[in-house]
């Protein structure tokens, strides 16, 4: 994929994470997304879609997305699990036309290019040399096994894609680089290098995540896949647009 100059973009991918839509927030996101169909071909949402994971919040978000005019693909974030109604949040959004991913993928034909998006919420566990281990108490083992399971789901979904371009969409971070700015002590709760390993083994042109509100914008996996933290407080705008084309080279932001 090239990150082509904006004028030669084959596919324009808009992305934002952490919109945290509350039940009384109707109208706010809608205004921010006005005109997005002129700027991008698809919108990816990198989790923390709602404030507390309530179905009524998902209804408000669905209303905000109703007129965007381009496909919307999303993963859940930890906030969307907070009231144990994540399945209802997913249902509400799917019913309203949003493609929700967790360990699976979608293929979109955009401007004659086949774009595959594979997604997972992902989970924590830490990074090289400082990772949580699958040992000891059942709660500790469950933590690590859950993180492994979600990373494996992403890998399988990515590996199953036979498309011109592949994007890995996550909420938790696959690399530590994009957490720069967050206290080091909590990095293990903000992401896991299991996600980066999954991305590198299965291959992707671009990896996107949110969750780290005080993190940094850019990083790269050990295998050379560009990583972008699109958490809304990090990008500082309603969404970021990435220009992708099928000739491989690192993705670049369009603006």
Residues 200-219 that bind Fe ion (CB under 5 A): 211
- Candidates 100, 87, 88; CA nearest to 56 is 88
- Nearest distance, CB of residue 233 and Fe ion, angstroms: 8
Please, which of residues 214-253 interact with Fe ion by CB under 5 A?
Answer: none
Which residues, in sequence order, are CB contacts of 134 under 8 Å at separation 6+? 140, 141, 144, 145, 148
Q: Choose between 77 and 219: whose C-beta lies nearer to Fe ion.
A: 77
2, 239 contact by CB (below 8 A): no
57 near Fe ion (CB under 5 A): no
Q: For residue 245, how far is the Cα from the chain centroid?
A: 19
Does the protein bind Fe ion through residue 155 (CB under 5 A)?
Answer: no
Distance (Å, rounded) from C-alpha 171 to C-alpha 139?
A: 22
135, 169, 253 from 101: Cα distances, Å = 29, 9, 23
Closest CB 77 distance from Fe ion, rounded Å: 4
Q: Which spans in 18-119 are helix H?
A: 28-32, 36-39, 55-65, 86-95
Q: Is 77 in the site for Fe ion (CB under 5 A)?
A: yes
C-beta closer to Fe ion: residue 71 or 189 = 189
Token pair recorded at residue 207: 């990896």
Residue 195: phi and psi, rounded to 5, are: -70, -45
Q: Is 78 in the site for Fe ion (CB under 5 A)?
A: yes
Query: Is residue 55 at the binding interface for Fe ion, with CB under 5 A as the rule?
Result: no
User: What is d(CA 42, CA 97) in angstroms, rounded to the nearest whole number?
Assistant: 13
233 or 250: CB nearest Fe ion: 233
Contacts (CB under 5 A) with Fe ion, residues 3-22 = 18
- Measured from the CB atom, the residue of 157 and 212 that comes closer to Fe ion is 212
30-38, 70-78, 138-146, 158-166 -> range binding Fe ion (CB under 5 A)? 70-78
- Residue 77 or 122: the one with the smaller Cβ distance to Fe ion is 77
Which CB sits closer to Fe ion, 116 or 126? 126
Binding site for Fe ion (CB under 5 A): 18, 48, 77-78, 211
């Amino acid at each position: 994929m090239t990150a082509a100059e904006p004028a030669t973009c084959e596919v324009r991918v808009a992305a934002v994470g952490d919109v945290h839509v509350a039940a009384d927030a109707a109208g706010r996101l809608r205004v921010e997304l006005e005109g997005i169909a002129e700027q991008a071909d698809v919108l990816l949402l990198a989790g923390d879609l709602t404030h507390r994971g309530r179905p009524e919040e998902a209804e408000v978000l669905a209303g905000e997305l109703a007129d965007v005019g381009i496909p919307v693909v999303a993963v859940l974030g930890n906030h969307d699990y907070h009231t144990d109604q994540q399945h209802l949040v997913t249902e509400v959004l799917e019913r309203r036309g949003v493609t929700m991913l967790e360990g699976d993928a979608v293929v979109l034909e955009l401007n004659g290019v086949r774009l595959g998006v594979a997604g997972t919420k992902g989970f924590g566990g830490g990074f090289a040399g400082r990772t949580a281990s699958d040992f000891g108490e059942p709660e500790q083992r469950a933590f690590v096994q859950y993180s492994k399971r979600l990373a494996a789901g992403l890998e399988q979904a990515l590996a199953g894609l036979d498309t011109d371009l592949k994007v890995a969409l996550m909420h938790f971070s696959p690399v530590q680089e994009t957490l720069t700015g967050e206290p080091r002590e909590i990095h293990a709760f903000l992401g896991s290098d299991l996600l980066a390993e999954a991305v590198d083994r299965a291959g992707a042109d671009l990896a996107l995540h949110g969750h780290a509100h005080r993190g940094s914008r850019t990083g790269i996996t050990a295998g050379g896949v560009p990583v972008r933290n699109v958490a809304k407080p990090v990008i500082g705008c309603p969404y970021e647009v990435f220009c992708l084309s099928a000739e491989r080279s690192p993705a670049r932001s369009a603006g």
